[in-house]
């Protein structure tokens, strides 16, 4: 049974490899279909589509949108969306602008802590309009202040750490609506990271389904076999589609491999026809 990988980041957001390189790795890993899901940006899709075509692989246009859920972030993946939709483009632009408002404040906090870093350096490392904390982490690594992205998050950048600054984000219902209005499927990403304070994950997914949620990312690099079974049951119970992917970022998350995650990820290719059917692409 062939494998697919529907969660991949490139240099167009905070991944460290350009789309063509990510597609090459996917091909080498025996992946038959892949989705590029950069944060808040769609500019990597044409290059990925061209590379995928060369290798005879299927490219699913995708996005990953962060939303605000209480004091945490809830990530919503979008698949098969009309990636040239001008309204979606405008909406994603506002998300990237909120990054440009937040990031210099993070840099100021790091400067106040005595670390000589500038936002120009961060923008240069990013080389994209979707500038994220992993780019700040990379500048800290380049300057020898930390030795890994993980250390940068653990010491400075994660929620609750001294250089954490929250970003203005839409509620999940709005992220879902944006994806649906661009004719895409809206999927709850990596449920392992969702901490529900009121009610259960089932309650949350039922509520989001009533707002248009189509599916849940059951297969994910850090899900244990038990979690995978649990989320599969959830998808059945709430009548949601099943998706999966590695969340490959290259150097930002060096222990995650395309197609294989931490070694045991296997997203079966038989999931794809169901997704295409739901998206009206069959
Ligand atoms: P941002 O979108 O700029 O708020 O940055 C959040 C992104 O940073 C996430 O989507 C992950 O890709 C990455 N990230 C979050 N926590 C960590 C961590 N501990 N180590 C490495 N990357 C992380
Ligand atoms: Zn990322
Ligand atoms: Fe995510
Ligand atoms: Fe991701």
Question: pLDDT tens-digit profile of 206-255?
Answer: 999 999 999 999 999 999 999 999 999 999 999 999 999 999 999 989 99
Q: What is the pLDDT of residues 45-62, one digit of tens each?
A: 999 999 999 999 999 999
**What is the 48 CA–ligand 2 centroid distance (Å)?**
17
**Which whole number is the average pLDDT over 86-92?**
98
Longest dimension (CA), the chain: 56
Dig out the tokens for 155 from the structure: 């010491």
pTM assigned to the model: 0.96
Return the closest-CA partner of residue 149 out of 159, 163, 162, 138.
138
The rounded percent of the chain whose pLDDT value lies above 70 is 100
Sign of CA dihedral 261, 262, 263, 267: negative
Ligand 1, residues at Cβ distance < 6 Å: 14, 39, 66, 132-134, 149-150, 153, 158, 249, 252-253
**Which whole number is the average pLDDT over 138-145?**
97
Q: Answer yes or no: is pLDDT of 87 > 80.
A: yes
Backbone angles phi, psi at 262, to 5 degrees: -90, 15
Q: Which residues pair with 248 in a beta bridge?
A: 8
Q: Are 146 and 140 in contact (CB under 8 A)?
A: yes
pLDDT at site 206: 97
**Ligand 1 atom nearest 158 alpha carbon:** 16
pLDDT at site 232: 98
pLDDT at site 1: 74
What is the average pLDDT score of the chain?
97
pLDDT at site 282: 74
Pairing mode, strands 72-79 and 185-188 = antiparallel
pLDDT at site 198: 82
Q: Report CA-CA distances (Å) from 226 to 99, 192, 204, 231.
A: 35, 11, 20, 9
Sign of CA dihedral 150, 162, 106, 63: positive
Q: Are 84 and 61 in contact (CB under 8 A)?
A: no
Q: How does residue 115 score in pLDDT terms, banded at 50, 70 and 90?
A: very high
Q: Which of 134, 146, 256 to mutate to test the pocket of ligand 1 (most atoms within 8 A of CB)?
A: 134
**Which whole number is the average pLDDT over 77-106?**
97
pLDDT at site 71: 86
**Ligand 1 atom nearest 247 alpha carbon:** 12
* Burial of residue 247 (number of CB atoms within 10 Å: 0-12, 13-18, 19+): buried
**What is the 270 CA–ligand 3 centroid distance (Å)?**
23
């Amino acid at each position: 049974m062939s494998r697919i990988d529907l969660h991949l980041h490139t240099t167009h957001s905070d991944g460290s490899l350009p789309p063509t390189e990510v597609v090459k790795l996917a091909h080498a890993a025996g992946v038959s279909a892949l989705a590029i899901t950069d944060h808040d940006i769609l500019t990597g899709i044409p290059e990925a589509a061209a590379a995928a075509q060369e290798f005879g692989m299927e490219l699913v246009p995708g996005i990953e949108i962060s939303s605000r859920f209480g004091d945490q972030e809830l990530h919503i993946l979008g698949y098969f969306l009309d990636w040239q939709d001008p309204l979606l483009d405008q909406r994603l632009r506002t998300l990237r602008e909120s990054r440009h408002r937040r990031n210099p404040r993070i840099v100021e906090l790091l400067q106040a802590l005595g670390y000589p870093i500038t936002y120009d350096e961060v923008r240069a490392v990013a080389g994209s309009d979707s500038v994220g904390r992993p780019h700040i982490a990379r500048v800290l690594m380049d300057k020898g202040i930390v030795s890994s992205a993980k250390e940068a998050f653990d010491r400075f950048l994660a929620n609750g750490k001294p250089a954490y600054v929250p970003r203005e984000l839409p509620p999940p219902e709005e992220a879902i609506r944006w994806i649906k209005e661009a004719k895409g499927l809206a999927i709850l990403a990596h449920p392992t990271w969702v901490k529900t304070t009121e009610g259960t994950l089932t309650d949350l997914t039922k509520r989001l389904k009533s707002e248009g949620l189509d599916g849940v990312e059951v297969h994910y690099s850090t899900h244990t076999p038990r979690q995978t079974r649990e989320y599969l049951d959830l998808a059945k119970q709430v009548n949601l589609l099943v998706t999966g992917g590695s969340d490959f970022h290259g150097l930002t998350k060096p222990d995650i491999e395309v197609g294989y995650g931490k070694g045991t990820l296997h997203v079966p290719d038989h999931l794809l026809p169901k997704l295409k059917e739901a998206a009206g692409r069959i």
